[in-house]
Amino acid sequence: MSKVTVIGAGNVGATVANVLAHKDIVKEIVLVDIVGDLAKGKALDTWQQAPIDNYSTYLTGTSDYKETANSDIVVITAGIPRKPGMSRDDLISTNANIVTSVVKSVLEYSSDPIIIVVSNPLDVMTYAAFKASGLAKNRVFGMAGILDTARYRAFLASELNVSPKDIQAILMGGHGDTMVPLPRYTTVAGIPVTELVDNDTLNAIVERTKTGGGELVKLMGTSAWYAPGAAAAQMVEAIIKNENRIFPVCTQLNGEYGLSDVFVGVPVRLGKNGIENIIELKLDSAETTLLKDSAAAVKEVMDVFDKM
């Protein structure tokens, strides 16, 4: 049985812990926040939900990294969320410092954890965590693609009046307005989506997906947490259960898709070692151009981070 640490006990971190506890697949979850009482309170609240919802996962909260010792998986959600008018990139300096210091503190007590980054701007924060950690690249990666794909699938499900369960899709690129949805690789119970939805409708859904995070920031005054938290918990589940699930995940590319030294979302197989392998789809030239443009946009922000 495993130990999972979630750093940041705010909206997203508390949701990761809560959703993961409900899966009843890990022995212990430690919630860490600089505001220790907040982490303690949210952990205690979720532990008190256990008798109602029938799970045994034990939760504690703390601001002391000693209590995270020997974690198998660490999910990083610490940082400030996006406010209306901010792009994800505006968060870079504040959240990069937070992510870097969090990774260093984590590694004082856990020697070889798998780290899942959720803090934004996601692709660059994943890079920051990888750089600070010195861990193998298959052990440090970011959650964005499952969320973006879920938004796309949810919009399609509403449009077609079908269950979101039956919509399969993959999405690539950076976590932002340059993300690359792939209608060619989208099916509804095996039926190509292009047979069920006209081009204009599909394009409108793709555009809504790209700005899906911003839509929620506008509605709520802060960024989303239910779907992001559930998406990170699903990645933890795939690793703990060695499921070999195929998800779009933010990882470092070293030649795949003709791209190098950049962190972007691509389909991977997720199992007990984290990223077991990257899956290289055959993209057409338009898709390749979109992916290259998206990677270039991420690289620009990575360069900003490198110069900081």
Site track 234-263 with ligand APR (rule: CB under 6 A), x = hit: ------------------------------
Which residues between 81 and 120 bind ligand APR (CB under 6 A)?
Answer: 81-82, 91, 95, 98, 101-102, 118-120
Q: Catalytic: which of 82, 139, 153, 175?
A: 175
**Nearest CA-CA partner of 248 in 227, 288, 275:** 275
- Among 34, 136, 189, 219, indicate the residue that binds ligand APR (CB under 6 A): 34
Q: Helix and strand tally (H, E) in the chain?
A: 9, 14
Count of alpha carbons within 13 Å of 180, Cβ hemisphere only? 29
Residue 93: CB atoms within 10 A of its CB come to 11
| Residue 33 interacting with ligand APR (CB under 6 A) | yes
| Residue 5 interacting with ligand APR (CB under 6 A) | no
User: CA 81, CA 105: separation in Å to the nearest integer?
Assistant: 21
| Amino acid making up residue 288 | T
Q: Shortest Cβ distance from residue 40 to ligand APR (Å)?
A: 12
Please state whether beta strands 3-7 and 73-76 pair in parallel, antiparallel, or not at all (unpaired): parallel
> Is 175 annotated in the active site?
yes
Residue nearest to ligand APR (CB): 10
Q: Shortest Cβ distance from residue 35 to ligand APR (Å)?
A: 5
> Which of the ranges 71-79, 127-135, 232-240, 248-256 carries the binding residues for ligand APR, by CB under 6 A?
71-79
> Which of the ranges 72-80, 204-212, 235-243, 283-291 carries the binding residues for ligand APR, by CB under 6 A?
72-80
Copy the structure tokens of residue 149: 């794909």
Q: Going by C-beta distance under 8 Å and a sequence separation of 6 or more, which residues neighbour residue 186?
A: 152, 156, 167, 168, 169, 170, 192, 193, 194
How big, in percent rounded to 5, are the helix, strand and coil portions of the chain?
Answer: 50, 20, 30
- Among 4, 9, 115, 188, indicate the residue that binds ligand APR (CB under 6 A): 9
| Residue 130 interacting with ligand APR (CB under 6 A) | no
Size of the site for ligand APR (CB under 6 A): 29
Q: Shortest Cβ distance from residue 14 to ligand APR (Å)?
A: 8
| Residue 40 interacting with ligand APR (CB under 6 A) | no
**Nearest CA-CA partner of 276 in 244, 236, 252:** 244
| Amino acid making up residue 93 | S
Nearest to ligand APR of 98, 206 (CB atom): 98
User: CA 243, CA 69: separation in Å to the nearest integer?
Assistant: 25
| Residue 172 interacting with ligand APR (CB under 6 A) | no
Q: Going by C-beta distance under 8 Å and a sequence separation of 6 or more, which residues neighbour residue 50?
A: 21, 56, 57
Residues 272 and 72: beta-carbon distance below 8 Å: no
- Among 145, 176, 228, 267, indicate the residue that binds ligand APR (CB under 6 A): 228
Give the active site residues. Answer: 175
Q: Which residues bind ligand APR (CB under 6 A)?
A: 7-13, 32-35, 38, 77-79, 81-82, 91, 95, 98, 101-102, 118-120, 222-223, 225, 228
